[in-house]
A and B are shown apart, each in its own frame.
Chain A
């Protein structure tokens, strides 16, 4: 059964304090690993897609990496506006396009 586990559940950082969020997964035939950002009361917003081990993607202060068993979302010198819940999801083999989500990491960046 496809499964995604994110850690930590919550993370508090001071502005400028870099850190990483973890996403561990088990999936049959990985077709893609996705990172989303979700602000309170809103739908998730797409950040990155990673397809194969060793792949990296960057966007502003965020960098996502992928291994065969986990993905990391690195946040460099975060700002208060980076505060949000970050969701990881995987898509396995099959044509339905179903995504299996982790429970998310809620990040709070204090000024």
Chain B
């Protein structure tokens, strides 16, 4: 069966520090992968998506970047965090059967202080 792993679960980082969030998917190949951010009391904002290794599309200009070094690995990074980067970050993948839309990871709560 397919599973998605996302870590860490919580993270507190100072302003100006780097960031690396990792997401991996098991049990499938060549998935579409997505990074979303959810600010407090708001909906999910699509940040990046990837349809294959090395293929990254950015949805909004920001302080973040994404990479896909392996088929089932998706990484969200920043060189210098801003206060406005705080939020709940969710990784998702699209199952082969589009019927189900996305399957989400458990999320990372990032607080920039």
Binding site for B on A (CB under 8 A): 4, 6, 31-32, 34, 36, 41-46, 49, 87, 89, 91, 95-104
B36 surroundings in chain A (CB, below 8 A): 101
Establish whether residues A46 and B94, one from each chain, have CB atoms under 8 Å apart when the complex forms: no
One of B34, B42, B103 near A98 (C-beta < 8 A): B34
Establish whether residues A89 and B106, one from each chain, have CB atoms under 8 Å apart when the complex forms: no
- Name the segment of B11-19, B44-52, B68-76, B77-85 touching the other chain: B44-52
Question: Given that A43-B105, A87-B43, A101-B44 are known contacts, is A32 also in contact with B49, CB under 8 Å in the complex?
Answer: no
A34 to B94, CA, bound (A): 13
Within 8 A of A (CB), among B22-64: 32, 34, 36, 41-46, 49, 51, 57, 59
Give per-residue flags for B77-113: 1 if the beta carbon is below 8 A from chain A beta carbons, else 0.
0000000000010101010001111111111010000
Binding site for A on B (CB under 8 A): 6, 32, 34, 36, 41-46, 49, 51, 57, 59, 88, 90, 92, 94, 98-107, 109
- Name the prevailing secondary structure of the B interface residues: strand
Establish whether residues B106 and A96, one from each chain, have CB atoms under 8 Å apart when the complex forms: no
Question: Given that A96-B57, A101-B43 are known contacts, is A32 also in contact with B98, CB under 8 Å in the complex?
Answer: yes
A41 to B98, CA, bound (A): 25
